[in-house]
């Protein structure tokens, strides 16, 4: 057990986990450590291996190679019951013939201590915000309420770790946002180590302490939500997480690239490839009030403006880059100039500090 930099110890450590189904490699030598009390999200498109990894950790499936250790105890081949976790599935998997109280008390032992269980059930229902629901049956609850019961059941035995398999995907948007917030609050209050699988990048960035982005059975990047969003370390992560502008470019100097007939400067280091793709978040595009001859500034025609509530999305056609579209997202209140009109030519800065370069051709 090696102590991590913040002083907390590793709760769960995976080393070189692989799992193949026939000729399909679901997991390819995955290594990961989760610290005690941490909220980690496994993020990736469907088929990336995130659910397979969760099932290996839960003991519902066995790896072909590699090992899993729980607090330095090897549990690679241990039965699920020997692993000390609670789990919540996307389908909730509540027992339909048992009342809410019986569902939550399902794992409490010994079974005859009804009085003690009743207290514990009440405590858990209060905790998940469903007081007084003891005698209801799952079919009488809404999706969000069922999700809360499933969470209470998973936490009933005070497990050392909570596993969540797309727990919010089956809910509608408003309930999902509310539950997401509550889930995070509950996790911080209990300090339970939590691993959640999701394909929703917004959800992962909002809830996790650390996000693990997976693709094709491998881990692409591990980092805090801000790191994943600001400094994606691979083309896949940059494309998968958030929105971005992609500009085809060619390298011409240590930190200089050419896009169309403009030369742009980057603060980031360029990959060795001569053909590059520049990456820039729409909110990092700066629309200037007036033209000044500054580096990384080009002229662009406003093509279209769409209202999006807090942010206004502007479709720009930069001059000197034929066929290239540039999206900018601006806060209407912070735009230090007259309202934009389609057809207008505006100066636009592509900040050198925000530009990243990746090797390769156009993203699909």
Partner 1 sequence: MLSAVLRWLPRGGQAGIAGEARIASLLLWALVAVLLLGLGLPLLFIFAKSVQDGDGGFVCLANFAQVLQSPGLLRASSNSLQLGLTVTALVLPLAFAFAWALLRSRLWGRGLWRQVGLSPLLAPSLMPAISLVYLFGNQGLLKDWLHGGNIYGFWGVVLGELFYTFPHALLIIMTALSAADARLYEAGRVLGAGPLRQFLTITLPGVRYGLVSAGLVVFTLVLTDFGVPKVVGGDFNVLAVEAFKQVIGQQNFPRGAVVGLLLLLPAILSCLVERHMARRQQAALTARAQPFAPAPAWLRDAGALLLLLAIGLLLLALLGVGVAASFIKYWPYNLDFTLAHYQFDTVDGGGWSAYVNSLQLATATAVLGSLLVFVGAYVCEKLPGMALGRSLLRFLAMLPMAVPGLVLGLGYVFFFNHPANPLHGWYGSLGLMVLCCIAHFYTTAHLTAATALKQLDGEFEAVAASLKVPFWVTWWRVSLPVCLPALVDVARFLFVSAMTTLSALIFIMTPEHSLAAVSIITMDDAGDTAAAAAMATLVVLSSAGLSLLLSLLERLLGRRNQRWRKPG
Of the listed pieces 32-40, 56-64, 240-248, 302-310, which binds partner 1 according to CB under 8 A?
A: 56-64
Window 114-143: residues binding partner 1 (CB under 8 A)? 137-140
> CB 328 → partner 1: shortest distance, Å?
41
Instruction: At 7, give phi and psi (nearest 5°).
Output: 90, -15
Q: Return d(Cα 348, Cα 285) in angstroms, integer.
A: 7
Helices (H), 107-264: 114-127, 143-155, 173-190, 201-207, 225-230, 235-240
Give the binding range for partner 1 (CB under 8 A) out of 32-40, 75-83, 282-290, 313-321: 75-83
Under rule CB under 8 A, residue 229 binds partner 1:
no
Q: Does residue 270 contact residue 316 with C-beta atoms inside 8 Å?
A: no
- Smallest distance, partner 1 to C-beta of residue 134, A: 14
Sequential DSSP letters for 55-121? HHHHTSS--SEEEEEETTEE-TT--GGGS-EEEE-TT----TTS-HHHHHGGG-SSTT-HHHHHHHH
85 sits near partner 1 (criterion: CB under 8 A)? yes
Measured between alpha carbons, how far is 46 from 214 in angstroms, rounded to an integer? 10
Residues 54/224, Cβ–Cβ less than 8 Å? no
Task: Retrieve residue 99's tokens.
Answer: 């009342």
Binding mask 157-196 for partner 1 (x = CB under 8 A): x-x---x---------------------------------
Binding status of residue 106 toward partner 1 by CB under 8 A: yes
Among 109, 174, 189, 290, binds partner 1 (CB under 8 A): 109
Does 95 bind partner 1 (CB under 8 A)? Our answer is: yes
Q: Kindly state the smallest distance separating residue 173's Cβ from partner 1, in Å.
A: 22
| C-alpha dist (Å) from residue 24 to 14, 17, 18, 28, 217 | 21, 15, 11, 10, 10
Among 14, 17, 56, 154, binds partner 1 (CB under 8 A): 154
Residue 76 binds to partner 1 (criterion: CB under 8 A): no
Is 56 among the residues that bind partner 1 (CB under 8 A)? no
d(CA 55, CA 262): 50
Total of chain residues touching partner 1, rule CB under 8 A: 34
Give the integer Cα–Cα distance in Å for 251 and 330: 29
Q: Does 22 bind partner 1 (CB under 8 A)?
A: no
Distance of closest approach, residue 103 Cβ to partner 1, in angstroms? 10
Task: Return the residue of 32, 40, 42, 156 that touches partner 1, per CB under 8 A.
Answer: 156
Choices 53-61, 204-212, 225-233, 299-307 (CB under 8 A): range interacting with partner 1: 53-61
What residues contact residue 326 under an 8 Å CB cut-off, 6+ apart?
Answer: 245, 247, 285, 300, 315, 316, 317, 318, 348
Name the residue nearer to partner 1 (CB basis): 65 or 78: 78
Query: Closest distance between partner 1 and the C-beta of residue 169, in Å?
Result: 14
Extract the tokens encoding 175. Answer: 């309930």
Residue (of 141, 143, 165) closest to 154 by Cα position: 165
User: What are the φ/ψ torsions at residue 73 (nearest 5 degrees)?
Assistant: -100, 130
Maximum alpha-carbon separation in the chain: 80
Determine the interface stretch with partner 1 among 27-35, 95-103, 261-269, 312-320 (rule: CB under 8 A). Answer: 95-103
Q: Closest CB to partner 1 among 97 and 338? A: 97
Residue closer to partner 1 (CB basis): 31 or 140 = 140
Give me the residues that bind partner 1 (CB under 8 A), please.
58-60, 79-83, 85-87, 89, 91, 93, 95-99, 106-107, 109-111, 137-140, 153-154, 156-157, 159, 163
């Amino acid at each position: 057990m090696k102590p991590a930099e913040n002083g907390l110890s590793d709760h769960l450590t995976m080393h070189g986990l692989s799992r193949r189904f026939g000729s399909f490699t679901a997991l390819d030598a995955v290594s990961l450590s989760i610290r005690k009390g941490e909220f980690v999200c496994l993020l990736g498109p469907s088929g990336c291996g995130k659910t397979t990894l969760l099932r290996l950790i839960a003991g519902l499936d066995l790896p072909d190679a590699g090992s899993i250790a729980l607090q330095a105890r090897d549990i690679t081949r241990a039965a699920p019951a020997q692993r000390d976790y609670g789990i919540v599935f996307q389908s909730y998997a509540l027992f339909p013939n048992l009342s809410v109280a019986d569902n939550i008390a399902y794992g409490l032992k010994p079974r005859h201590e009804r009085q003690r269980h009743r207290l514990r059930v009440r405590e858990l229902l209060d905790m998940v915000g469903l007081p007084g629901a003891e005698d209801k049956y799952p079919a009488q609850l809404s999706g969000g309420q069922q999700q809360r019961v499933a969470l209470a059941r998973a936490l009933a035995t005070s497990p050392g770790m909570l596993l969540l398999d797309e727990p919010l995907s089956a809910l509608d948007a408003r309930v999902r946002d509310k539950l997401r917030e509550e889930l995070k609050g509950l996790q911080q209050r209990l300090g339970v180590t939590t691993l959640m699988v999701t394909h929703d990048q917004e959800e992962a960035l909002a809830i996790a302490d650390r996000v693990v982005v997976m693709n094709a059975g491998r881990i692409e990047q591990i980092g805090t939500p801000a790191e994943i969003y600001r400094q994606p370390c691979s083309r896949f992560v940059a494309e998968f997480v958030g929105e971005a502008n992609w500009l085809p470019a060619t390298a011409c100097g240590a930190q200089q690239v050419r896009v169309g007939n403009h030369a742009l400067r980057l603060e980031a280091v360029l990959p060795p490839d001569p053909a590059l793709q520049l990456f820039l978040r729409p909110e990092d595009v700066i629309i200037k009030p007036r033209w000044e001859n500054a580096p990384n500034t080009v002229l662009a025609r406003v093509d279209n403006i769409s209202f999006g509530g807090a942010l206004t999305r502007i479709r720009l056609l930069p001059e000197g880059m034929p066929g290239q579209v540039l999206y900018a997202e601006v806060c209407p209140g912070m735009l230090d100039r007259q309202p934009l009109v389609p057809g207008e030519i505006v100066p636009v800065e592509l900040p050198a500090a925000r530009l990243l370069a990746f090797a390769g051709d156009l993203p699909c």
